[in-house]
């Protein structure tokens, strides 16, 4: 019997060895690893005949690359549908998060210099540990993806992001406390995703405080999935707190 190494999180079952995968399987293997945020060392390529020798392993996903065989006991079968569901989480979209209260007179536009006074005001009001003013007012570089949400020509929220070779990151997002609880956060986040999709982003990453359950629930409702945790990443009133790392696969 074969005992899988503790680091193994994915079985990729095919007829060929890793260095002999055809072009499609090589692309697919790389895309799955990237989507699941795994390194090649966390995956194991196996021929179909080896599956009967795998001991039960509940924490491992199994992708059958064109193989008509049964995956090992305890392993979760990974398919294109389940891989997409990791990022879209359609069941959680039942939560409207106040979207019915959002008026139609809104727009999401690129952050411009004349928006910065409002952005800095909201940054200080919305965050217990705000960015430095110099970061807020820093001139954007070519990878920046910064936007504001306007409602009746008033700035009610903003987001700072970046897009590097199809991998986007949401760095900062906030809604004016006077306008929170009305669905504007969901509206801004969905607008950010739409903007990054238009910029050919393939996936979007973000970090959120572990204690910020409301924000984490919103991200999950939109389609983000928690994939890791950074211990003691954020400063807090009691010292440090963890950051949840979440990702969204742009379809």
Encode pLDDT of 138-160 as tens digits.
999 999 999 999 998 899 999 99
DSSP, res 16: S
Contact 124, 174 (CB under 8 A): no
The helix/strand/coil state of 226 is strand
pLDDT bin (cut points 50, 70, 90) of residue 33 is confident
Is a pLDDT exceeding 60 seen at residue 170? yes
pLDDT bin (cut points 50, 70, 90) of residue 19 is low
pLDDT bin (cut points 50, 70, 90) of residue 96 is very low
Q: What are the chain's domains?
A: 10-78 (3.40.50.10220), 92-249 (3.40.630.30)
User: What percent of the chain has a predicted confidence (pLDDT) above 90?
Assistant: 47
Mean pLDDT of the chain: 84
Is a pLDDT exceeding 80 seen at residue 57? no
Is a pLDDT exceeding 70 seen at residue 40? yes
Closest alpha carbon to 228 in 204, 212, 208 = 208
Is a pLDDT exceeding 50 seen at residue 36? yes
The whole-angstrom separation of Cα 140 and Cα 112 is 10
pLDDT bin (cut points 50, 70, 90) of residue 24 is low
The predicted pLDDT at position 134 comes to 97
The whole-angstrom separation of Cα 11 and Cα 51 is 10
To the query of whether residue 158 is one of the catalytic residues in this protein, the response is no
Mean pLDDT of 183-193: 93
Predicted structure pTM score: 0.61
Residue ranges of the alpha helices (H) in 39-183? Answer: 80-88, 116-126, 133-137
Contact 194, 223 (CB under 8 A): no
To the query of whether residue 241 is one of the catalytic residues in this protein, the response is no
State the catalytic residue, choosing from 97, 184, 219, 248. 219
Is a pLDDT exceeding 60 seen at residue 84? yes
The helix/strand/coil state of 229 is strand
State the catalytic residue, choosing from 190, 202, 203, 207. 207
Which structure tokens are listed for 150? Answer: 């306007």
pLDDT digits (tens, 9 = 90+) for 100-120: 444 447 899 999 999 999 999
Between 10 and 81, the more confident residue is 10
- The residue length of the chain stands at 251
Mean pLDDT of 174-196: 93
Between 208 and 226, the more confident residue is 208
Between 138 and 250, the more confident residue is 138
The predicted pLDDT at position 200 comes to 92
DSSP, res 94: G
Which structure tokens are listed for 10? Answer: 């994915």
């Amino acid at each position: 019997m074969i005992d899988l190494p503790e680091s193994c999180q994915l079985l990729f079952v095919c007829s060929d060895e890793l260095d002999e995968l055809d072009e499609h399987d090589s692309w697919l293997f790389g895309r799955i690893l990237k989507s699941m945020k795994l390194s090649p060392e966390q995956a194991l390529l196996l021929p179909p005949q080896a599956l009967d020798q795998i001991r039960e392993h509940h924490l491992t996903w199994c992708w059958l690359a064109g193989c008509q065989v049964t995956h090992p006991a305890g392993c979760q079968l990974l398919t294109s549908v389940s891989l997409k569901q990791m990022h879209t989480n359609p069941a959680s979209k039942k939560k409207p998060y106040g979207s019915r209260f959002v008026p139609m007179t809104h727009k999401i536009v690129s952050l411009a210099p004349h928006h910065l006074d409002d952005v800095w005001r909201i940054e200080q009001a919305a965050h217990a540990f705000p960015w430095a003013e110099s970061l807020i007012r820093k001139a954007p570089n070519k990878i920046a993806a910064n936007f504001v949400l306007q409602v009746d020509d008033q700035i009610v929220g903003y987001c700072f992001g970046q897009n590097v070779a199809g991998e986007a990151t949401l760095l900062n997002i906030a809604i004016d406390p006077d306008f929170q609880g009305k669905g504007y956060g969901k509206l801004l986040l969905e607008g950010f995703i739409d903007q990054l999709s238009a910029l050919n982003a393939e996936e979007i990453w973000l970090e959120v405080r572990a204690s910020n359950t409301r924000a984490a629930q919103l991200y999950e409702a939109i389609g983000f999935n928690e994939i890791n945790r950074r211990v003691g990443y954020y400063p807090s009133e009691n010292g440090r707190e963890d950051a949840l790392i979440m990702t969204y696969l742009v379809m």
